[in-house]
């Protein structure tokens, strides 16, 4: 019965490549066997197994070797991905292992790939009960979808409607072997407690409970999709070009909470609890206008600046960093900020307009020209820093008179947590530009060119891609 179901599910996908998340346990071992049969019947498809080595068990190396052998026997390659869990983060081992596993799997999924995992109906029941235990709303009670987007491709659970008993019967009928993870017997883990102590009682009393839970999860998912549809226009209006959320567009408390959740979901962030969401509304959204409110949850912080909400990811201070920069040589910036290059112009340049001092201008596309300078003199060593001397005053292009850098940041609307992550370009001890914000008038390439210097004596400030999933602190 299992193979016809798998064949029906996989035929619906146009991509010709399937990646199996292969732990070596009974469920994924059965799915490997089924997938091998499918690959034989459909030689036009490509199948690959990926085993994630968490290193949590003394048997981990043996399991990895066994998975490679079983995959080879099934006629497909198996890649072993080694991961290290940040066990000091305060998260549960279960959650850390799950996050690391999916990060490792994501490397093998492109737009033409379907990731296959072996969760089944009993897993769905356990997931639903865990969400219920946490007091989750419809989003959490939606449990696991049969299909969802994953990275650039798709994630499919082809066995989600199959019980554990059916999988066991298939494994024994085909004389399959699998690894037994000793941690699966440890009832200190909530899922194991449910698996061994709770779900057997529930299924014995109500044999149809798996299907009933699946229906409830489906109905919850439908309600969530409906809510997303109804709020799509309001969310689009509230989200600003820099990715922040406009407080003035949130509406009532009930609608605001829903919009905040949808906004966070768009960024693939861990959802706050009900209590945390209430704090976001009370302490951040409704804080006094002149306040600098913030709320931490998981590894993120919600902050408000000029009536906009920002999700801030904390980073270590880079105030001490001083980088030596050479013209025409890209300089690698710290903390995932990309590269910066002073790129010499060899021909007469077109005029670069002064920087528009908007926060959204700080979200740069690949290789953006963010200013133009005259070339440094031989006596002016070029450095890139992230903290300026106290009290430094400059006059940006397009302004009259000098202003302190702190005041300029305020006038240009730069949030306080971004100010120490903007590259400051120095010629000697003189601040000549804040990349992405302004060029100091006395060092502007346009002025030098207008005076007859020519393109060979000016350079563009080129800021190349930055790795930021959300606003950096």
The domains of the chain are located at 2-216, 239-313, 322-472
End-to-end CA separation in angstroms for the chain? 53
- Give pLDDT tens digits for 36-67: 999 999 999 999 999 999 888 888 999 999 99
Integer Cα distance of 404 and 408 in angstroms: 6
CA atoms within 13 A on the CB side of 365: 2
Asked whether 370 and 355 are in contact (CB, 8 A), the reply is: yes
- 472, pLDDT greater than 50: no
More confident residue, 370 or 385: 385
- Give pLDDT tens digits for 96-143: 888 889 999 999 999 999 999 999 999 999 999 999 998 888 888 998
Q: Confidence band (pLDDT; 50, 70, 90) for 345?
A: confident
Closest Cα to residue 115, out of 49, 160, 58? 49
Look up residue 389 and give its two tokens.
């001397």
- Domain spanning 2-216: which CATH class is it, in words? alpha beta
- Give pLDDT tens digits for 244-254: 999 999 999 99
Which parts of 189-330 are beta strand (E)? 245-246, 294-297, 300-305, 308-313, 322-325
- Mean pLDDT over 161-178 rounds to 94
Give me the sign of the Cα torsion angle 128, 130, 136, 140. Answer: negative
Integer Cα distance of 411 and 165 in angstroms: 66
Q: What is the pLDDT of residue 88?
A: 64
More confident residue, 345 or 7: 7
Integer Cα distance of 203 and 211 in angstroms: 11
Closest Cα to residue 422, out of 335, 353, 352, 342? 335
- Give pLDDT tens digits for 213-226: 999 999 999 999 99
Supply the mean pLDDT for the chain. 88
Fold adopted by 239-313: Chorismate Mutase Domain, subunit A (1.20.59)
- Give pLDDT tens digits for 392-450: 999 999 899 999 999 999 898 888 888 999 999 999 999 999 998 999 999 998 655 55
In this structure, the number of other CB atoms found within 10 A of the CB of residue 435 comes to 23
């Amino acid at each position: 019965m299992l193979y016809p179901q798998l064949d029906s599910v996989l035929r619906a996908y146009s991509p010709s490549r399937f990646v199996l998340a292969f732990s070596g346990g009974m469920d994924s071992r059965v799915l490997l066997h089924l997938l091998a049969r499918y690959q034989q019947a459909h030689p036009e498809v490509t199948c690959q197994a990926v085993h994630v080595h968490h290193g949590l068990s003394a048997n981990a190396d043996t399991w990895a070797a066994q998975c490679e052998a079983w995959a080879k026997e099934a006629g497909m390659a198996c890649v072993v991905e080694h991961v290290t869990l940040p066990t000091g983060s305060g998260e549960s081992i279960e959650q850390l292992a799950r996050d690391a596993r999916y990060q490792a799997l994501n490397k093998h999924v492109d737009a033409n790939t379907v990731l296959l995992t072996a969760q089944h109906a009993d897993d769905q029941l356990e997931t639903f009960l865990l969400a219920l235990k946490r007091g989750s709303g419809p989003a959490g009670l939606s449990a696991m979808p049969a299909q969802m987007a994953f990275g650039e491709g798709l994630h499919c659970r082809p066995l989600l409607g199959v019980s554990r008993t059916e999988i066991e019967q298939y494994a024994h009928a085909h004389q399959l072997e699998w690894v037994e993870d000793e941690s699966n017997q440890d009832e200190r883990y909530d899922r194991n407690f449910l698996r061994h102590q709770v779900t057997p009682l529930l299924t014995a009393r109500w044999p149809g409970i798996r299907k009933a839970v699946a229906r409830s999860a489906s109905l919850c998912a439908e309600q969530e999709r409906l809510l997303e549809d109804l709020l799509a226009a309001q969310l689009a209006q509230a989200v600003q070009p820099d990715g922040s959320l406009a407080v003035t567009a949130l509406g009532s408390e009930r609608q605001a909470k829903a919009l905040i959740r949808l906004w966070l979901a768009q960024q693939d962030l861990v959802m706050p609890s009900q209590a945390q969401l209430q704090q976001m509304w009370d302490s951040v959204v409704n804080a006094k206008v002149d306040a600098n409110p913030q709320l931490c949850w998981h590894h993120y912080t919600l902050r408000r600046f000029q009536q906009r909400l920002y999700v801030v990811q904390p980073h270590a201070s880079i105030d001490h960093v001083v980088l030596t920069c050479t013209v025409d040589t890209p300089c690698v910036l710290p903390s995932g900020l990309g590269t910066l290059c002073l790129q010499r112009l060899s021909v007469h340049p077109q005029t670069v307009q002064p920087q528009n001092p908007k926060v959204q201008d700080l979200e740069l596309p690949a290789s953006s020209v963010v200013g133009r300078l005259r070339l440094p003199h031989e006596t002016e060593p070029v450095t890139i820093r992230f903290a300026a001397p106290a009290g430094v005053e400059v006059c940006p292009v397009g302004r009259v008179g000098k202003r302190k850098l702190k005041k300029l940041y305020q006038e240009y609307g730069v949030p306080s947590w971004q100010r120490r992550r903007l590259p400051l370009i120095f010629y000697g001890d003189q601040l000549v530009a804040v990349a992405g914000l302004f060029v100091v008038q006395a060092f502007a390439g346009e002025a030098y060119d207008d005076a007859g210097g020519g393109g060979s004596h000016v350079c563009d400030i080129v800021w190349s891609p930055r790795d930021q999933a959300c606003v950096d602190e």
